[in-house]
Amino acid sequence: MAVTITPSQITPDSSSAQSKLETLTHQFKSISQPVDRVKHLLHYAQMLPEFNQSLKVTANRVPGCTAQVWIDARLDDDGKMRFLADSDSEVTKGYCSCLISVLDGALPEEVVAMKTEDLGELNVGVKVDSRANTWHNVLVSMQKRTKALVAERDGKSVGDPFPSLVITKDGVGAKGSFAEAQARYLFPDDAKVQELANLLKEKEIGVVAHFYMDPEVQGVLTAARKLWPHIHISDSLVMADSAVGMAKAGCKYITVLGVDFMSENVRAILDQAGFPEVGVYRMSDEEIGCSLAVAASSPAYIDYLSEASITSPSLHVVYINTSLETKAYAHELVPTITCTSSNVVQTILQAFAEVPNLSVWYGPDSYMGANIVELFQQMTLMTDEEIAKIHPDHSRNSIKALLPRLRYFQDGTCIVHHLFGHEVVERINDMYGDAFLTAHFEVPGEMFSLAMEAKRRGMGVVGSTQNILDFIKSRVQESLDRNVDDHLQFILGTESGMVTSIVAAVRQLLCSSDSSSKEGKVSVEIVFPVSSESVTTTSLTTSPSSSTGLSLGELGDVSNMSVIPGVASGEGCSLHGGCASCPYMKMNSLTSLIKVCNSLPLGKDALTRYEAGRFSLRTPKGNSIADVGCEPILHMRHYQATKKLPEKLINQILGAGSNGRAE
């Protein structure tokens, strides 16, 4: 349950936290020279009450600060908050002292009511972002501890913790049944790994898989990659390119572990690259769908594009997670370029920079579209210098000018990311406010806003699966470089299948540090923000999971599983809770992969329905779907390589030749 602290009628006297903050702000504003403001901050550092050495434990550390910062909090007999703090940096001690001068002795509702934005007026002369973020991160930690103490006083529970995996140099522990189910496949059976690697090598088969694969499949593939190099796990952008590399290296077949549009793209790109003889196989004889791809082929989406086609000049930016057929039909209606969640912002900004008076039509993911608009609206509050760091050809005025000409489709969602709803956001705020927060660009607005707020104070990332992985790796490396005991907690705001790649990358970092040195012990916790309805229970009964997690020796016994990674009836998680797993991606099983590999090459006839087919249909204008559908992908590749839109696409937008569209 969420912790509710109802604000009381606080009189604005000199003892209120707000009045103290206003006094503090006035002090710093009255000092004209930045160097003098820093001196005043250091004066506050000398006023910080003594912090007992016994309180300097990992549990009291404030995450996200460059320096080490510790906070201790308690409720006194009068129901007021009492705080102590310390840091190994004098400047940071000054920050802490300022905050304690405002909030020590405050009512809990005053502490919780204070916003990080309230600290923006405190210009103390320190320009480094990591230092400025200290204000915010220490405040968020104070608020988290306040909520927990109030709940304890009132005999209430802050709420059950989300399931999580704790990664250390020595292994991986699981907290909660959902995490246990994920963890069981992180250490795959050696015999299965060897069997798959031998099979792939013998028959010269390459494997391209999406990050969102089932943990069992990812675990085996990750281990098998050490024995057979032609296995690649990535986001959808890189899958087709990896397949081309495997074909060049001599692979005769490519197996695609993903949804159908991914295998379509691999087939088409291999043909474009001159490898029509390389077979491409899916993992099911049934359709492996995708709610976004379905939305993009709906009559509503065609109507949306028809409106774009009569608005000149226009560019359709389509998410790569759509079918080749959709891309082809769209490109004949309005000039089209594909994008991914990692390059969508830069693609749109570059298009507006290169084509005057352009209208951009994004689709089909409604959440991503709304989040892009929200991001650009936030950019209008930035300085020109800050905006230039995002894109050098834009300023506050140009961002304001482009917003009315940026449209997005209103009726398309990923059924997985749709499920990061209000309940989950509320629990994250109450229980994980000081954790690192990662969110895919496709999550709903509440989760996106929460992640953007965390990003502003250096505690979050919003972007693609690869962006999320890179963010986690960078924060872990920073912690290792500090050489102190640390516990990093990350909220995984995307599909849970990513955890295999995350665990592998984090373990590699933790194990690569010099074990002979006296470096600090670093642990990394990956939190799955799933609601209680987000997992499917089985009829098996087991003892309650231990708070210390599942031991590595227990991970291999699947018969003891009390939950299955995934969700009931293949419908996704509760609409009020976070997502767990994509039911379409889970159609890509290890059993299917082995079956397909065993059937090649002699049993190809039995795999007809598994084969990624070529498009024999033509577009409404009589062109090849593969040829026209590939062009938006090639436009994106050109942009990725040069950071400029291709000349052909600009001509299409401006209507030069062939009416500006693919013919």
Active site residues: 65
**CA neighbours within 13 Å on the CB side: how many for 117?**
3
CA distance 185 to 336: 40
Strands of the 314-319 sheet, one edge to the other: 336-339, 314-319, 359-363, 406-408
Q: Evaluate whether 492 touches 498 at the Cβ level (below 8 Å).
A: yes
Q: What's at 535, amino acid-wise?
A: V
**CA neighbours within 13 Å on the CB side: how many for 21?**
21
- Identify the sign of the CA torsion 515, 521, 527, 532: positive
Q: Provide the pairing of β-strand 164-168 with 522-527.
A: antiparallel
CA distance 256 to 260: 9
CB atoms within 10 A of CB 272: 17
With helix as H, strand as E and coil as C, how does 53-90 read? HHHCCHHHECCCCCCCEEEEEEECCCCCEEEEEEECCH
What's the token pair of residue 25?
Answer: 């702000």
Q: What is the DSSP string of 35-50?
A: HHHHHHHHHHHHTSPP
Chain centroid, CA 564 distance in Å: 23
Length in residues, the chain: 663
CA distance 102 to 22: 9
CA distance 376 to 532: 35
Q: What is the DSSP string of 159-228?
A: -PPPPEEEEETTEEEEESHHHHHHHTTSS--HHHHHHHHHHHHHHTEEEEEETTS-HHHHHHHHHHTTT-
Give, for 527, the enclosing helix (H) or strand (E).
strand 522-527
> What secondary structure letter does DSSP report for 618?
B
Smallest CA-to-CA distance from 307 within 432, 168, 410, 427 is with: 410
Q: What is the DSSP string of 504-521?
A: HHHHHHHHHS-TTS-PPP
Q: What's at 590, amino acid-wise?
A: L
- Per-residue burial over 291-325, b if 16 or more Cβ lie within 10 Å, else e, is bbbbbbeeeebeebbeebbeeebbbbbbbbbbbbb
What's the token pair of residue 603?
Answer: 């049993």
Q: Evaluate whether 358 touches 404 at the Cβ level (below 8 Å).
A: no
Contacts of 173-177 with CB under 8 Å at 24 or more apart are 173/548, 173/549, 173/550, 173/551, 174/545, 174/549, 174/550, 175/545, 175/547, 175/549, 176/528, 176/545, 177/535, 177/545, 177/562, 177/563
- Identify the sign of the CA torsion 8, 13, 18, 20: negative
What's the token pair of residue 70?
Answer: 């510790």
Smallest CA-to-CA distance from 74 within 100, 35, 46, 38 is with: 100
